[in-house]
Amino acid sequence: MRMLLAIVVCKLLRFIGKRVGKGSSLPGKFALKICPDVLRRVTLPPCIIAVTGSNGKTSTVEMIAAILRRSGKKVIYNAEGSNQIEGVTTLILCSSTLGGKMRGDVLLLESDERYARLSFRWFHPTHFVITNLYRDQLTRNGHPEWVYDAILPAIHPDTTLVLNADDPLVSCFANGRDNVKWFGLERCSVSTDKPQGVYDDGARCPVCRGKMEYTCYHYHHIGHYRCPACGHARHTPDFAVTALDLDAGKLTIDGGTEIELAFRSIYNVYNILAAWSVCSLAGAEKEAMAAVISNYVLKNGRMVRFTLGGYHGTLLTSKHENSVAYDTNLGYIRDRKQDCEALIIVDAISRKYFTGETSWLWDIDFDLLDCPQVKRVLLCGKYVHDLAMRFDYTGIPAEKVVCYDTVSQAAGALEQDGGGELYVVTCFSDRDKLLNLVKLEQ
Amino acid sequence: MELNILHVYPDLMNLYGEYANLAVLRRHLEALDVEAHIRTALLEDAPDFDTVDMIYMGAGTERGQKAALTALTPYAGKLKEAAGRGAVLLFTGNAMETLGASVTDADGKVWPGLGLAEYTTVETKKRVATDIVASSTTVPATSVGFMNKCSITRGVVSPLFDSLSSGFGNEEDCGPEGFTLGNVFATHVTGPVLVKNPVFTDLIIQRLFALRGWDLPEKLPVLPHEQEAHDVTLEELSQNGDRQKASLE
């Protein structure tokens, strides 16, 4: 009876919420108050896929959904990204019959890395994909090992883990388990012998703190590693990108299937591979997967094109407090090899909470913009002085760097003078401050 | 003029952009025509505490801190001697905890500290990540920054910051924070702390010059953007003063 009431209330609140533009967590919150163990009582689909990690969750989940739908499966997933227990509850109950049977063949969840254990207290995924663990939102997450410790209790012994073999910390989730599948990138054109970036979180073995040895790095601490002291080492992947040509926008999976990249970044490669791996395990056919993933353009809108005066602009949404996300986009700008200007905005550090924390700026490799084709770098926002100070410690000549106190001042200056390609790097918290001042391309 | 600085375990104790503390200090010293030779000690090395003017260790993960502590323990006597002769020690984040008598981890295991102070630290299962605004008689300006810790430190006799108007002190919300004695400075404040607080950088420089017996110029160099960045953060933190009480229990 309580389950029925919880489902009815959840559906009703969601119906009303959609009409007044409210988020998806409130209905689940009420349902959990009515019936705290409702997630144990409902009957879930036979395949439950969860995806967690620092970066790439949303993109990976979106591609998994697209592939499995093409494969004829009915997929229920939290496209709105409400990835804590309340949002998950809303999703499940609103997709269930009043008798508590969830419709669909696959329940697909983007799971918040810190709160996964709450969601999975009542049920557990059949497949749990863990993409990577980086420095991300230290203000909320502490540090990657703290997040590791938070995810660990969420993992059920019966769940098949689908892990990034190239991440030494993520690999630790496999310790003491047999039901693990690995995905990874073989040495390829992007691999380097030395670590890239400002810091090296792969320097020390996460198990014993011995000096880690890498035969190659793909980016940051992601690569082919081995600890001589304790033997913690990269596993041979079950699913691998065996060739990659980012310039040509092509990758090969398992030596046979060629995929074209709509977005030519190493991070996209890993997201595609993660989606490919778990979809294979869920029974998708190679041909169907390749057809969907090839040239797949993500719908999550993190890249926005616009015009501003004489500029043709591309906004690359990063996440403040996430140096890897920034490095992704700065690397993208560098790799385009076309003359351009770059605008960096740090005004509100988060859209969800207040903080004045700016240490993450020192973890970003802004030297990626120290290349001839980047003609000018504009900095703006409330924390422009923190940004400017950080840029003083790069190799970028001071005369290339211009500062503005506000986004509108920077936009006004750009509108009045100059033209060409403009890349904007900023966070969800700040991007609309610019997008409200430009003409969006459809 | 030249100074020798030892950066202890930079590949282990380096969360939160902590390396920038030394980058900024080096830049200030350069402006004073002082060349800073920054050496590093890794876990496998015997750290040379005898010939350096300054020893720095930054924040790490809890497990990283224990590895650092274990590796440093055989050299605790040498570290004490360095502090005794007036070498400047700056230990930030949870590196601060290693200087005390012990660190008890969240599982209850007690790790003996380096013993430069008598305070003891107990790790908690909860974490406080919060902005800080700190007052001090030692650092002659309001300091700003951030802390990201999961521990309570008890028994600090001489805190670095006398009180906080935002942030979790050694033992309690807004209580005294950090530790200082002579030229030893320890604080959980990150940001990194010298990057966000040029007055603190000046204090370190004063102590280094005094150690070497050098004359300090009347006016220390002011580098672009540093004070402005500090002032903006202080203003923001002051305006957003409605904060929940931080708690680790």
Q: Residues A399-432: pLDDT tens digits?
A: 999 999 999 999 999 999 999 999 999 999 999 9
Which one is predicted more confidently, B248 or B205?
B205
According to the model, what pLDDT value does residue B15 have? 94
Query: Where does the pLDDT of residue B247 fall: very low under 50, low under 70, confident under 90, or very high at 90 and above?
Result: confident
Closest alpha carbon to B9 in B19, B20, B21: B19
According to the model, what pLDDT value does residue B244 have? 66
Residues of B with Cβ-Cβ distance to A204 under 8 angstroms: 11-12, 43, 64, 67
According to the model, what pLDDT value does residue A352 have? 85
Q: Which of 371-400 (A) contact B at CB < 8 A?
A: 382-383, 385-386, 388-389, 392-393
Residues of B with Cβ-Cβ distance to A361 under 8 angstroms: 17
According to the model, what pLDDT value does residue B248 have? 79
Q: Which of B11, B20, B67 sits opposite A362 (nearest CB)?
A: B20
CB A135 within 8 A of CB B53: no
Is a pLDDT exceeding 90 seen at residue A303?
no
According to the model, what pLDDT value does residue A249 have? 93
Interface contact A389-B131, CB threshold 8 A: no
Percent of chain A with pLDDT over 70: 99
According to the model, what pLDDT value does residue B241 have? 63
Is a pLDDT exceeding 70 seen at residue A301?
no
Query: Where does the pLDDT of residue B240 fall: very low under 50, low under 70, confident under 90, or very high at 90 and above?
Result: confident
Interface contact B146-A140, CB threshold 8 A: no
Query: Where does the pLDDT of residue B243 fall: very low under 50, low under 70, confident under 90, or very high at 90 and above?
Result: low
Percent of chain A with pLDDT over 90: 84
Q: Torsions phi, psi of A89, nearest 5?
A: -65, -45
CA A246, A248, A249, A254 torsion-angle sign: negative
Q: Which of 27-56 (A) contact B at CB < 8 A?
A: none
Fold exhibited by the domain B2-239:
Rossmann fold (3.40.50)
Is a pLDDT exceeding 80 seen at residue A188?
yes
Q: Which of A357, A360, A389 sits opposite B229 (nearest CB)?
A: A389
| pTM above threshold 0.90 | yes
**Mean pLDDT in residue range A287-306:** 88
Query: Where does the pLDDT of residue A115 fall: very low under 50, low under 70, confident under 90, or very high at 90 and above?
Result: confident
A43-293 and A303-440, same CATH topology: no
**Range A415-418 contact pairs with CB under 8 angstroms and sequence separation of 24 or more:** A415/A308, A415/A309, A416/A309, A417/A309, A418/A309, A418/A310, A418/A311, A418/A341
Q: Which of 240-259 (A) contact B at CB < 8 A?
A: none
- Tell me which CATH homologous superfamily contains domain A303-440: Mur ligase, C-terminal domain (3.90.190.20)
Fold exhibited by the domain A43-293:
UDP-N-acetylmuramoyl-L-alanine:D-glutamate ligase (3.40.1190)
Q: Residues B38-51: pLDDT tens digits?
A: 999 999 999 999 99
Quick one: tokens of A414? 């750009």
Query: Where does the pLDDT of residue A94 fall: very low under 50, low under 70, confident under 90, or very high at 90 and above?
Result: very high
Cα–Cα distance measured from residue B98 to residue B101, given in angstroms and rounded to the nearest whole number? 8
Domains of chain B, residue spans: 2-239
| Residue in chain B lying closest to A201 (CA) | B11
Domains of chain A, residue spans: 43-293, 303-440
A117 touches chain B (CB under 8 A): no
Q: Torsions phi, psi of A316, nearest 5?
A: -105, 105
This model of the complex carries an ipTM of 0.97
Q: Residues A198-221: pLDDT tens digits?
A: 999 999 999 999 999 999 999 999
According to the model, what pLDDT value does residue B191 have? 93
CA A192, A197, A199, A202 torsion-angle sign: negative
**Mean pLDDT in residue range A75-101:** 88
Q: How many CB pairs under 8 A join A and B?
A: 110
Q: Which of B17, B131, B232 sits opposite A363 (nearest CB)?
A: B17
- The sheet with strand B35-41 has its strands ordered as B35-41, B2-8, B54-57, B88-92, B184-187, B179-181
B67 touches chain A (CB under 8 A): yes
